[in-house]
Structure 1
């Protein structure tokens, strides 16, 4: 599903990723853990093709992450959400379908929303069916996070990437969000890679932990083999 070989990403003199090797197999649910600035978001950005590595090789679903056909099969919940606030919720969710639509259909959908049954079903799953025609900017942070999740649900990707997908959600909704992300990946025999901070969520929803510090992988093992001391060391790790 995903392979990084010796991947380095530099911004000026700073290495956001430093020689990262990582392979994710079909069916895996991988949690990326690490302190702020450890490289989690950069790793996800490399995986979805929005950041090109300075060195090393990246393969996603057997192809290049720069390939439009590959990128259409990768779904991302961004930490910044990447929603258009002035648009109604339905239009933001519809963005998950754009890869399958012609330019004409996409433009017409801004006038008369297309794929409405599918969009409403996704919003129902995240508890926002009654907000479909509200302007997105009027929603709370947690509600906007669920709109971004609904957008991914309608896309039906093979590889699911999520950057802090539950950061603005209460514990019940956070569990629901991680369940939906896992189900979405599993429905197509795919994989989930999620940057998370809550160890309880990780233990309930993931089967593997990859720990980052200073842009390097410093921990990679099954969730069952990760102790509280490992987590404490990870967040205090010095590369």
Structure 2
């Protein structure tokens, strides 16, 4: 794979299950180590990063995982505040578990995803769509330069899915970074992204601006790989 994403771009990565979309995001955030080649993220070579250097890069890179990576027994406020762990000291992070820090920012982020009234509720008592919005609020308080989102709207109704993609795209662009998101909904990709990259068996077989693509073409792409 040879792929470059410029600052300010909103890129949708599409493809059938097993095409390599989630692996690509893992390589970009340093959780998956490639066996060959070079990966540069925000001007930094990812291979070989360890300890503080890797934490600094991850503080600038926000990932919304497909399985969300939330801690169910914790209250929503603590899961949202996890977005700041890359910039907080260990002492402040531990103190926040007892007396939550930055409540104004958390409340603002939750209001943007229509969950302001759930701040002190246990996360595992929320619906799947609500948990997905908690993960989105976590990114909003982190304010990363690069946003990596794996199926960020899979559990959301159409209106909330559009809202989520607008927030993610705006978050990346306002920091001068980029959004790279894996999506299974071609229509959502066309509405909210500038460019679409299609994967088949870990290889790029489609790379085009959304302005040059139609919904029918993307549906045919899915038909071929299925």
Measured against the shorter chain, the TM-score band is over 0.9
User: Is it true that 1:58 corresponds to 2:39 in the alignment?
Assistant: yes
Please identify runs of 4+ aligned residues in structure 1 that moved more than 6 A.
Answer: none
Aligned to 2:160: 173
Distance 1:235 1:116, change over 3 A: same
Whole-Å separation in 1 of the counterparts to 2:172 and 2:78: 23
Higher RCO (CA 8 Å, separation ≥ 6 residues)? 2
Counterparts of 1:96 and 1:107, CA distance in 2:
14
1:124 matches 2:124: no
Provide the rounded CA distance (Å) in 2 between the counterparts of 1:218 and 1:190. 25
Is contact 1:35-1:213 (8 Å) kept?
yes
- RMSD of equivalent CA atoms: 1.3
Aligned equivalent of 2:200: 213
Q: Hey, what's the Cα distance between the residues in 2 that align with 1:125 and 1:227?
A: 31
* Secondary structure of residue in 2 paired with 1:32: strand
Partner of 1:110: 97
Tell me which moved more, 161-170 or 193-202: 193-202
Per-residue CA distance 1:197-223 (angstroms, 9 max, x = gap): 112211111010000011110000101
Q: TM-score, structure 2 length as denominator?
A: 0.94
Q: Give the conservation status (yes or no) of the 8 Å contact 1:213–1:234.
A: no
1:222: which partner in 2?
Answer: 209
Q: Hey, what's the Cα distance between the residues in 2 that align with 1:193 and 1:147?
A: 19
| Cα displacement (A) at 1:238 | 5.2
Residues in 1 aligned to 2:106 and 2:219: alpha-carbon distance in whole angstroms: 41
> Secondary structure of 2:106's match?
helix
Cα distance, 1:188 vs structure 2: 0.7
Q: Secondary structure at the match of 1:23?
A: coil
Distance 2:216 2:165 in 1: 24
* Structure 1, unpaired ranges of 5+: 1-19
Matches within 5 A, 1:32-43: 32-43=13-24
Q: Deviations over 1:86-105 (max 9, x none)?
A: 00000000000111111011
Q: CA shift at 1:234, angstroms?
A: 2.2
Larger helix percent: 2
Q: Which blocks of at least 5 consecutive residues in structure 2 are unaligned? A: none
1:227, distance to aligned residue in structure 2 (A): 3.1
Larger strand fraction of residues: 1
How many Å apart are 1:226 and its aligned residue? 1.8
Alignment match, 2:145: 158
